[in-house]
Amino acid sequence: MKLPKWLEEKYDLLWDKFEDREFRSTEALEILGKEHLIDEKSLSAAISEMRKKGWIETRKDPDDERRRIYMLRPKSEIIQDYLTLKDDKLGRADIERILKGAADLIRTRVDYKFILVLLFMKQMSDKWMMEYQKAYEDAIKEYGLSEEEARLEARNSAYHDLDIKEEYLWDNIRKDVENLPIKFAGALKNLAELNPAFKDVVDAFDFVEFTQSQENREILRQLVELFSEKKLTNVDPDILGDAYEWILRYFAPTKAKEGEVYTPREVIRLLVEILDPKPGESVYDPASASNGMLIISHKYVKETYGEAERLFLYGQEVNRKTMALGSMNMYIHDIKDHHIAHGDTLLYPKFKESDGIMRFDVVIANPPWNQDGYGEDTLKKGDYWRERFRYGFVNKQSADWAWIQHMIASAKDDGRIGVVIDNGCLFRGGREKSIRSAVLEDDLIEAVILLPEKLFYNTGAPGAIIILNKDKDEERRGKVLFINAGEEYEKHPEVRKLNILSDGNIERILEAYREFQDDDGFSRVVDLDEIRENDYNLNVPLYAFPEEELEDIDVAGEWMRLSEIEEELAEVDERIRGYLDELGYMGVKM
In tens, the pLDDT along 509-526 reads: 999 999 999 998 999 999
Q: Which long-range contacts (CB under 8 A, 24 or more apart) does 352-358 make?
A: 356/384, 356/387, 357/384, 357/387, 357/388, 357/409, 357/410, 358/284, 358/314, 358/410
In angstroms, what CA-CA distances link 214 with 110, 170, 179, 181? 13, 22, 13, 12
Pick out the chain residues at pLDDT < 50.
1, 85-87, 550
Contact 243, 122 (CB under 8 A): no
Burial code of 395-430, b = ≥16 C-beta within 10 A, e = fewer? bebbbbbbbbbbbbbbbbeebbbbbbbbbebbbbee
Contact 11, 50 (CB under 8 A): yes
Measured CA to CA, the distance from residue 310 to residue 123 in angstroms comes to 25
Measured CA to CA, the distance from residue 300 to residue 333 in angstroms comes to 13
C-alpha triplet 193, 194, 200: angle, nearest 5°: 50
Alpha helix ranges (H) inside 478-527: 503-515
Which domains are present in the chain? Answer: 5-76 (1.10.10.10), 89-235 (1.20.1260.30), 250-542 (3.40.50.150), 551-590 (no CATH)
pLDDT of residue 580: 66
User: Could you give phi then psi for residue 259, rounded to 5 degrees?
Assistant: 100, -5
User: Could you give phi then psi for residue 197, rounded to 5 degrees?
Assistant: -60, -20
Cα–Cα nearest to 103, from 186, 195, 222, 184 = 222
pLDDT of residue 100: 86
